Amino acid sequence: MKLLGVVMEKVHFTEEKATNLATLYGRALDYRSAHPILGDKAADDAVRRIDYDFSRIGISPDRAVSVVLRAKPIDDWTAEYLRAHPDAIVLHLGCGLDTRFQRLAPPESAHWYDVDYPEVIELREKLYDKAPNQTHIGTSVTDFAWLDQVPSDRTALIVAEGLTMYLKPETGTELFRRLAAKFPSGELICDLFSRMAIKSQKINTPVRRAGATLYWGVDDPRDLEPCGLTLESSLDAAHWATPDVLAKMGPITRFQLRLLKVFPPLARTAHIVRYRF
Ligand SMILES: C[S@@+](CC[C@H](N)C(=O)[O-])C[C@H]1O[C@@H](n2cnc3c(N)ncnc32)[C@H](O)[C@@H]1O
């Protein structure tokens, strides 16, 4: 279908695949806000090209803030790694429709792999141009044969935002074990939900409306170290916003973040973590 000369893309994602529409929409709403944090124009352009009723997803402008609060430190750590290792391999797992490649513009010497289910990758290919140093792999990350498509002779950065909680604990840990063993060195940056967040998933509106199920809760990020990982940094949800990001927040979000600091168990329902291997 064409709308004002723009080709509109239909989308029929279900369950965990549909959750990437919520995070994409969150970044688009941030772009449209008075004080954007990510300034992700490509996300906004993509939302305008997808023929879908985004209002039914359960992402309000307030909730969009939590999407970008999570994305920002992951962007910052990824950019930091690429500055130190410009020839790295980047595996962007469960990439959904995220335009992190466009936001960070990795050097041409780095090679970036976006990995998600085949239907998701099919839509990515329609929405975005692919750079010469970017490869799309359409697969479940837990069908481990895809790992053979990636060279293992260089340092690697693995980025997995909003993915781990959709994996079963035993396949998630096996994935991380295989990744840590594959490369000579590298880092893994991901987010983790606590077991409480998994138990209370019914109150997570975008997940519930997508019909997705969350499985894997991790209370202590050190629990993943037996996969061959060493924990470098861990930020609970009260510590995702840096002072410059906080300055762009409205009073309600600032109040909510202060509440998280007062109630650490609430803040510990989600972590952003960085491991080395
Ligand atoms: C919440 S979305 C996050 C997408 C993206 N990282 C972002 O922040 O916008 C979860 C993504 O994980 C993907 N996913 C979940 N389980 C997966 C699996 N086993 N293999 C590949 N992708 C998976 C879904 O298809 C979806 O795109």
Residue of 84 and 242 predicted with greater confidence: 84
User: Which tokens is 126 given?
Assistant: 């329609």
From the CA of 160, give the closest atom in ligand 1: 6
What pLDDT, in 10s, does the model give residues 32-60? 998 999 999 999 999 999 999 998 888 88
Supply the pLDDT for residue 2.
Answer: 56
Q: Which parts of 85-168 fold into alpha helices (H)?
A: 100-104, 118-127
Supply the pLDDT for residue 26.
Answer: 95
SS3 state at 270? strand
What pLDDT, in 10s, does the model give residues 218-260? 999 999 999 999 999 999 999 999 888 888 888 888 888 889 9
Lowest-pLDDT choice from 61-65, 69-73, 160-164: 61-65
**How far away, in angstroms, is 157 Cα from ligand 1 center?**
17
What pLDDT, in 10s, does the model give residues 14-26? 899 999 999 999 9
pLDDT at 267 over 80: yes
**How far away, in angstroms, is 116 Cα from ligand 1 center?**
6
Name the residue of 11, 12, 15, 16 whose CB sits within 8 Å of the most ligand 1 atoms, as the mutation to test its pocket.
Answer: 16
**How far away, in angstroms, is 255 Cα from ligand 1 center?**
30
90: domain range? 2-276
**How far away, in angstroms, is 162 Cα from ligand 1 center?**
6
User: Which tokens is 149 given?
Assistant: 């498509």
191 lines ligand 1 (CB under 6 A): no
Give the number of domains in the chain.
Answer: 1
161 lines ligand 1 (CB under 6 A): yes
Percent of the chain with pLDDT over 90: 82
Residues 6+ apart with CB under 8 A from 43: 24, 27, 28, 31, 97, 98, 99
21 lines ligand 1 (CB under 6 A): no
Supply the pLDDT for residue 58.
Answer: 80
User: Which tokens is 203 given?
Assistant: 């109150």
Supply the pLDDT for residue 95.
Answer: 98
Short-list 43, 57, 150, CA closest to 96: 43
20 lines ligand 1 (CB under 6 A): yes
Q: Of all protein residues, whose CA lies closest to atom 27 belonging to ligand 1? A: 96
Residue of 102 and 8 predicted with greater confidence: 102
- CATH number of the structural domain spanning residue 236: 3.40.50.150
137 lines ligand 1 (CB under 6 A): no
